[in-house]
């Protein structure tokens, strides 16, 4: 797509292939909500510029693990995380690490589209302004345009950047949220069931978008939709009852699962 190429030049990213370099890794990550242990020691390596999907029955801890990767669990009073999570070999739970910087590098898109009740422009400008990424209004205009282009939303909203973001349709709102995350040039983008609140058409547009973003960012996507995982991801991780059961190349998982539970789940025998 032409627009996307244009914008990727602007953002200074090129379509790289998975480099084989480990971007994030988790070692024996456990999460407690109060007394109850929701994750029982997860080990996982996430490689740079690949798309990894988390699947599993609901309540198995996918979102919980995802939130460990940018420390969003810190915002939940009762949640406690143990173990190690590394981003570029640096422990993100190290007290010396600035969580604000971390979340700029590891962006997040939520299940329900949550645009701020501000204009479309302000929604995108929010992050860059916080982190002082741009100096002038002109630079900001450029960031807003390129982020919206990358999210495939530019053509639809370029004439009404001052309109409230909350006035867009659900699918447009979710793309706005993706654009908002992209605007701070993150290295990793976490998406927690980004399509579960959307209709099938909006879903397929978001899936296309994920495909476009592939290779420029490391993407972690939680989904309850196995076709979606199969369509968009390079690797798939299957969670069950707070454990990581299996992690492999997506075609391997779906054609030749190693674990009985995985097989049962993807053939629809439970879930």
Partner 1 sequence: MSNLMLAGVLLMLLALAYQLGLTRSRKLTTDLSGQKVRLHSRPVYHGALVAFWTVVPAFGVFLLWRFIQPGVINQMIIAQLPEAIMAGMTDSDMRVFLRRITHLSSGFGLSDQPQPHELQAAELLSVLQVRGHALMLALMASLAAAGLYFSWQQIHPDLRARNQMERVVKVALIACSSVAILTTIGIVLSMFGEAMRFFAFVNPMDFFFGTTWNPRFQTAGTEGQTGFGMLPLLWGTVMIALIALLVAIPVGLMAAIYMSEYAPSRVRSVAKPIIEVLAGIPTIVYGFFALITVGPFLSSFGATFGLDIRATSALTAGVVMGIMIIPFISSLSDDIITQVPRSLRDGSLGLGATQSETIRKVVLPAALPGIVGAILLAASRAIGETMIVVLAAGNSPVLTANPFEAVSTMTVTIVNQLTGDLDFASPQSLVAFALGLTLFVITLLLNVIALVIVRKYREQYE
Q: Does 33 interact with partner 1 (rule: CB under 8 A)?
A: no
C-alpha distance across the termini of the chain, in Å: 37
Does 131 interact with partner 1 (rule: CB under 8 A)? yes
| Closest C-alpha among 71, 64, 67 to residue 33 | 64
Can you list the pairs that 123-129 forms with residues at least 24 positions away whose Cβ atoms lie under 8 Å? 123/165, 123/176, 123/179, 123/180, 124/148, 124/176, 124/179, 124/180, 124/183, 125/183, 126/180, 126/183, 127/180, 127/181, 127/183, 127/184, 128/183, 128/184
Any contact of residue 73 with Mg ion (CB under 5 A)? Answer: no
> Can residue 240 be called a binding residue for partner 1 (CB under 8 A)?
no
Burial of residue 142 (number of CB atoms within 10 Å: 0-12, 13-18, 19+): middle
Stretch near ligand ADP under the rule CB under 6 A, chosen from 59-67, 93-101, 182-190, 200-208: 59-67
The CA angle 63-67-71, to the nearest 5 degrees, is 170
Binding region for partner 1 (CB under 8 A) out of 21-29, 95-103, 235-243, 256-264: 95-103
59 binds ligand ADP (CB under 6 A): yes
**Do residues 93 and 84 touch, judged by C-beta distance below 8 A?**
yes
Give the range of 23-31, 179-187, 224-232, 257-265 binding partner 1 by CB under 8 A: 179-187
104 interacts with partner 1 by CB under 8 A: yes
Q: Which of 34, 59, 117, 167 binds partner 1 (CB under 8 A)?
A: 117
Which residue, 11 or 244, is less far from ligand ADP as judged by CB? Answer: 244
Segment interacting with ligand ADP, rule: CB under 6 A, options 54-62, 129-137, 155-163, 204-212 = 54-62
Per the CB < 8 A criterion, the answer to whether 261 and 245 are in contact is yes
33 contacts ligand ADP (rule: CB under 6 A): yes
* Binding-site ranges for partner 1 (CB under 8 A): 70, 72, 75, 77, 100-104, 107-108, 110, 112, 114-118, 126-127, 130-131, 166, 177, 180-181, 184
Please give the residue ranges that form the binding site for Mg ion (CB under 5 A). 63
């Amino acid at each position: 797509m032409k627009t996307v190429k244009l914008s990727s030049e602007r953002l200074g990213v090129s379509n790289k292939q998975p480099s084989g370099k480990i971007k994030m890794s988790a070692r024996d990550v456990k999460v407690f909500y109060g007394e109850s242990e929701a994750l029982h020691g997860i080990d996982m390596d996430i490689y740079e510029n690949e798309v990894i999907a988390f699947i599993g029955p609901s309540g198995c801890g996918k979102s919980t693990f995802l939130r460990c990767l940018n420390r969003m669990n810190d915002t939940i009073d009762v949640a406690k995380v143990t173990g190690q999570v590394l981003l570029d070999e640096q422990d993100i739970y190290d007290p010396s690490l600035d969580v604000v910087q971390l979340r700029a590098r590891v962006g997040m898109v939520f299940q329900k589209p949550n645009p701020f009740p501000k204009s479309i422009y302000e929604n995108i400008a929010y992050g860059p302004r916080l982190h002082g990424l741009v100096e002038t209004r002109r630079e900001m205009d450029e960031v807003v345009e390129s982020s919206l282009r990358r999210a495939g939303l530019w053509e639809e909203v370029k004439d009404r950047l001052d309109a409230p973001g909350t006035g867009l349709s659900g699918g447009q709102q979710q793309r706005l949220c993706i654009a908002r995350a992209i605007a701070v040039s993150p290295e990793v983008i976490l998406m927690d069931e980004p399509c579960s609140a959307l209709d099938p058409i909006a879903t397929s547009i978001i899936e296309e978008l994920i495909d476009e973003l592939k290779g420029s960012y490391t993407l972690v996507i939680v989904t309850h939709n196995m076709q979606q995982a199969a369509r968009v991801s390079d690797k798939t991780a299957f969670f069950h009852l707070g454990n990581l059961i299996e992690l492999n190349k997506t075609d391997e998982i779906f054609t030749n699962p190693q674990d009985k539970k995985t097989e049962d789940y993807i053939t629809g025998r439970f879930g």
